[in-house]
Amino acid sequence: MAAIRGKNTKPELLVRRLLHRLGYRFRLHDRRLPGKPDIVFQARRKVVFVHGCFWHQHEGCRVSHIPKSRIAYWTEKLGRNVDRDASQKRALEQEGWAVRIVWECSVRRPHDLAQELQAFLGEPRFASRSAKAKTEWQRAN
């Protein structure tokens, strides 16, 4: 289960693929930023974290339930993750970054997720550039 917490998890790859298809370009795991955000939109000053529902305790999500055995252990361990997430988010926001958490479970609804991400990020630069190129081409021809 340790792998779930690492970089390049399956939900993360799905989110990256989705963003790419929508026309966004981004950097990955920028270690200069607090919490080393999974996906970084430098020019927009926005970051996205893809969080596992269990490890990061997605509130109200059925995947996030703490196991019935060793409750004290898990409560403490997962509580530390939640605290760390919150302080990293605060640190990023203090540096002027907008932070968006994508929960693992939302990847199952890619259409909704795409709309949420577009609302957060704004117009993709790549798509708008190609639209501009198209109108210029139409004008020239």
Q: What are the residues binding Zn ion (CB under 5 A)?
A: 53, 58, 61, 103, 105
Residue the block writes with tokens 């907008």:
98
- Going by C-alpha positions, the residue among 39, 40, 18, 8 that lies closest to residue 115 is 18
Q: Which of 34/100 has CB closer to Zn ion?
A: 100
Q: Which residue is nearest to Zn ion, using beta carbons?
A: 61
What gap in Å lies between CA 56 and CA 104, rounded to an integer?
Answer: 10
Q: Whole-number minimum distance, CB 62 to Zn ion, in Å?
A: 8
Q: Which is nearer to Zn ion, 16 or 51 (CB)?
A: 51
3-state DSSP call for residue 62?
Answer: helix
DSSP strand pairing (46-51 vs 98-103): parallel
* Residue 34 vs 38, nearer CB to Zn ion: 38
Q: From the CB of 45, what's the least distance to Zn ion, in Å?
A: 26
User: Least separation, in Å, of the C-beta of 99 and Zn ion?
Assistant: 17
Question: Two tokens at 107?
Answer: 């990847």
Rounded distance between C-alpha atoms, residue 31 and residue 36, angstroms: 5
For Zn ion, give the closer residue by CB, 53 or 92. Answer: 53
Nearest distance from C-beta of residue 48 to Zn ion, angstroms: 15
